[in-house]
Amino acid sequence: MTIPAHRIAFGEHLRDLRREHGWASQEAFAHHVGLDRTYISGLERGTRNPTLDVLVKLARGLDVTPSDLLATVE
């Protein structure tokens, strides 16, 4: 399966934001936002496609806007 470029860009940006905001561990961040660690991993690798509800959870957990999460997606 080929992973679309926009999902790879989103995942890399999510990983960067997570780390910049002090969440070194996917597991701790996942617990913070109420998602499973494997789901966070899938998002960061581009294998998962988040819903709007998940985008809002991630943004709130990182104290950014949903549009900030999508900044690198063309």
The pLDDT of 37-59, averaged and rounded, is 97
pLDDT in tens, 13-30: 999 999 999 999 999 999
22/8 Cα distance (integer angstroms)? 22
Q: Is residue 55 part of a domain?
A: yes
18-28 in b/e form (b: 16+ CB < 10 A) is beeeebeebee
pTM of the full structure: 0.94
The pLDDT of 36-60, averaged and rounded, is 97
Q: Is residue 16 part of a domain?
A: yes
Q: Is residue 49 part of a domain?
A: yes
Q: How many domains, the chain?
A: 1
Q: Is residue 74 part of a domain?
A: no
pLDDT the model gives residue 1: 76
19/1 Cα distance (integer angstroms)? 28
Angle at 42 between CA 64 and CA 22, to 5 degrees: 40
Residue 62 lies in domain: 5-69
Q: Exposed/middle/buried for 68, CB within 10 Å: 0-12, 13-18, 19+?
A: middle
Residue 19's CATH number:
1.10.260.40
